[in-house]
C-alpha cells in the first residue's frame, strides 16, 4: 500500500506494475483501505468463461455512473513493460535502417563505385574521367540535380536500377551519349555549385576573347561548350566495342552551331561570326592545316583543301536532318552538321576562285567536254595544270586527259600516234571523250578536226 497523487490511497499487488494496482477515492468506514480480491485461478477462469458462453446473451446496458466524488485526474499509471520494449525496438530498427541507407548512399555515390562496380559499358568514359581534372569529384555532383539533396540522390540511384539489367546482359547500344545529349541537358547550376563565376578568374586560350556573361544571358549552359571537360578523350584509346569519339564543343567548328558569317545559320541562335568577336587583334587566324604541304599550290598539288572540303560536305549531309532534341536546354545541331570551311569563308569564295561551281555538280564529268570552252579551260588549269608553268594552261585538257603528256616534248597532235601504236585502243580511251568520227575528220577527209 502506498500513497497516490493528492494523498489518495493506492492498493497494489505484489509488485508496483501489477495490474491489480488501483487508485481509490474513498476510505472504508473502519479506516482500513479496501484491497482488491485476488485474481481467480486459471481453472476458475475457464469455468467462468464456459458459463458465460452458455448463458443467454443479454442486451448490453451502459453501466450506472459511479457514486461518490469524481476521480482525481492525472493519476499516474505505470507503463506496461512490453510496450516499452516495442517502442525501443522500433527506434533501434529505424536508426539501423537510416544508418544503412546513409552508408549505402555514400558508398554508391563514390566515383569508384560508379566507374568500377557498375558502369562497365562506360569503360571509355571512365578512362577519360580518370584523366580529367574532375577525377576526384563524385559522379553524382555533376549527374544529379544540385538542389536534390540526400533523398533526391537516393531516388536517382533507385531510378538507375532499371538500366542495370540491359548493361548486365550486354544490350546497351553503343555509342552511349553519341551526340553529347547529357551535356546539352545539364543546367549551369551543376557547374556553379563549385565554380563561382563572380570570383573566378577566366583564363581563355591565347588569342581568344570569351564573354561568359553574354552566353549566360542567351541561355547557353556551361556544358554546351565545355562538354568534355570531365571526360576528355584526346589522351585515351577507345576500347569499348561499338564506341565512337565524341565531338569536342571547344572547337571553332562547334562555335558555329550558334555563330555565323550571316550566310548559313545552323540553329536558332544568331551570334556574329566575325573574327574580332572572339579573337584578339593580330592573332594568326590561319589554321595549321592551310600551311601543310599539298593544301594548295597554284598549278601544283592542291588536293589537301579539296579533300578537306569534300569530307566536311559529306559529314554535313549525313547529319543535316538530325539535331538536339528531348531534354536539351540548348537546341543546336551536331558539330558535324557545320561545314568547317564556312567558319571563315563564304560559299562564293570557292566559286570566285575556280570560276565554276565547286564541287562540280553531278553529271559534270560526262558533260563538261561540251560545256567547257577554250577560255574556261584556263580556269581548270589552276587545279589541273600541275606543271607549275602558267604557259601550259592552254593544254589543261590534254594534261588531264592524256596521261604522260609533256608540253616540252611537243604538242599532243604530233605525238598521239605513238600512244595509239603503242597499244592504246581508241575504243578504250579516245572515244571516252571524242566522237567516233573525230579521227576520220583528219585522217580520212583531211580536214581540221572538230573540237570533239
Residue 259 per-residue DSSP state = E
What pLDDT band is residue 374 in, cutting at 50, 70 and 90? low
Rounded-to-integer distance, Cα 262 and Cα 281, Å: 21
CA 12, 14, 18: angle at the middle one, nearest 5? 60
Share of the chain above pLDDT 70, in %: 71
pLDDT, residue 2, reads 46
Q: What average pLDDT does this structure show over 220-234?
A: 93
For 67-78, the pLDDT digits (tens) are: 555 555 444 555
The pLDDT of residue 308 is: 92
Distance CA 146, CA 153 (A): 9
Report d(CA 100, CA 115) in Å as an integer. 22
What is the predicted pLDDT for the residue at 324?
Answer: 46
- Measure the CA–CA gap between 309 and 303, rounded to whole angstroms: 10
pLDDT at 15 over 50: no
Taking alpha carbons only, the member of 325, 366, 343, 179 closest to residue 255 is: 343
Cell of 383: 587545279
Lowest mean pLDDT among 258-272, 354-368, 402-416: 402-416
Q: Are strands 259-260 and 271-272 parallel, antiparallel or unpaired?
A: parallel
How is residue 338 written as a grid cell? Answer: 557545320
Of all residues in the chain, what percent carry a pLDDT higher than 90? 18
Calculate mean pLDDT across residues 314-325: 63
Q: What is the structure's pLDDT at 200?
A: 82
Mean per-residue pLDDT over the chain, rounded: 77
Compute CA distances 57 → 50, 54, 98, whole Å: 13, 9, 52
Of the pLDDT bands very low, low, confident and very high (cuts 50, 70, 90), residue 79 is low
The reported pLDDT for the residue numbered 26 is 47
DSSP state of 114: I
Mean pLDDT calculated for residue range 157-181? 76
Handedness of CA 84, 87, 89, 95 (dihedral sign): negative
Q: In the chain, how many H helices and how many E strands? A: 19, 5
Summarize the confidence of residues 402-428 as an average pLDDT: 71
* For residue 222, pLDDT beyond 90: yes
Q: What torsion, rounded to 10 degrees, do the Cα atoms 259, 262, 265, 270 define?
A: 50
Across residues 375-381, what is the average pLDDT?
Answer: 74
Q: Report the pLDDT value the prediction gives residue 226, as an integer from 0 to 100.
A: 94
Beta bridge partners of 3: 9
Alpha-carbon distance 254 to 231, whole Å?
17
Tell me the pTM: 0.64
The per-residue pLDDT for 8 is 45
Q: Which of 62-71, 80-89, 390-399, 416-425 has the lowest mean pLDDT?
A: 62-71
Mean pLDDT of 149-161: 71
Q: What span, in angstroms and rounded, lies between the C-alpha atoms of 87 and 115?
A: 42
3-state helix vs strand vs coil in the chain, percent to 5: 45, 5, 55
Amino acid at each position: 500500500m502506498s500513497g497516490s497523487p493528492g494523498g489518495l490511497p493506492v492498493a497494489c499487488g505484489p509488485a508496483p506494475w501489477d495490474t491489480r494496482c488501483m487508485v481509490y477515492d474513498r476510505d472504508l468506514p473502519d479506516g482500513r483501505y479496501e484491497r482488491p480480491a485476488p485474481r481467480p485461478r486459471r481453472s476458475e477462469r475457464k469455468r467462468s468463461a464456459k458459463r458465460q458462453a452458455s448463458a443467454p446473451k443479454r442486451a448490453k446496458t451502459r453501466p450506472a455512473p459511479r457514486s461518490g466524488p469524481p476521480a482525481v485526474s492525472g493519476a499516474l499509471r505505470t507503463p506496461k513493460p512490453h510496450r516499452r520494449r516495442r517502442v525501443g525496438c522500433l527506434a533501434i530498427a529505424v536508426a539501423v535502417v537510416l544508418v544503412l541507407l546513409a552508408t549505402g548512399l555514400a558508398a554508391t555515390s563514390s566515383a569508384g563505385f560508379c566507374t568500377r562496380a557498375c558502369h562497365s559499358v562506360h569503360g571509355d568514359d571512365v578512362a577519360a574521367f580518370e584523366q580529367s581534372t574532375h577525377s576526384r569529384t563524385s559522379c553524382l555532383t555533376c549527374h544529379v540535380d544540385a538542389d536534390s539533396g540526400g533523398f533526391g540522390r537516393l531516388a536517382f540511384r533507385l531510378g538507375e536500377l532499371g538500366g542495370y539489367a540491359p548493361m548486365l546482359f550486354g544490350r546497351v547500344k553503343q555509342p552511349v551519349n553519341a551526340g553529347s545529349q547529357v551535356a546539352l541537358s545539364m543546367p549551369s547550376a551543376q557547374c556553379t555549385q563549385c565554380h563561382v563565376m563572380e570570383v573566378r578568374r577566366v583564363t581563355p586560350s591565347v588569342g581568344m576573347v570569351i564573354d561568359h556573361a553574354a552566353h549566360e544571358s542567351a541561355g547557353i549552359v556551361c556544358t554546351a561548350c565545355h562538354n568534355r571537360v570531365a571526360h576528355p578523350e584526346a589522351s585515351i584509346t577507345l576500347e569499348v566495342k561499338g564506341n565512337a569519339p565524341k565531338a569536342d564543343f571547344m572547337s571553332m567548328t562547334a562555335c558555329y552551331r550558334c555563330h555565323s558569317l550571316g550566310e548559313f545559320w545552323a540553329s536558332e541562335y544568331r551570334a556574329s561570326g566575325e573574327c574580332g568577336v572572339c579573337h584578339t587583334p593580330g592573332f594568326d587566324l590561319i589554321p595549321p592545316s592551310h600551311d601543310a604541304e599539298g593544301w594548295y599550290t597554284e598549278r601544283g598539288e592542291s588536293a589537301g583543301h579539296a579533300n578537306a572540303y569534300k569530307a566536311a560536305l559529306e559529314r554535313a549531309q549525313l547529319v543535316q536532318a538530325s539535331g538536339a532534341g528531348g531534354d536539351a536546354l540548348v537546341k543546336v545541331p551536331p558539330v558535324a552538321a557545320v561545314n568547317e570551311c564556312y567558319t571563315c569563308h563564304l560559299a562564293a569564295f570557292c566559286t570566285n576562285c575556280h570560276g565554276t561551281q565547286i564541287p562540280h555538280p553531278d553529271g559534270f564529268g560526262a558533260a563538261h567536254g561540251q560545256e567547257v570552252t577554250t577560255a574556261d579551260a584556263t580556269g581548270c588549269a589552276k587545279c589541273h595544270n600541275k606543271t607549275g608553268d602558267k604557259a601550259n594552261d592552254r593544254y589543261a585538257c590534254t594534261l588531264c586527259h592524256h596521261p604522260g603528256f609533256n608540253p616540252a616534248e611537243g604538242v599532243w597532235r604530233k605525238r598521239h600516234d605513238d600512244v595509239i601504236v603503242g597499244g592504246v585502243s581508241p575504243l578504250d580511251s579516245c572515244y571516252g571523250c571524242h566522237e567516233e568520227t573525230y579521227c576520220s575528220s583528219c585522217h580520212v577527209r583531211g580536214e581540221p578536226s572538230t573540237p570533239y
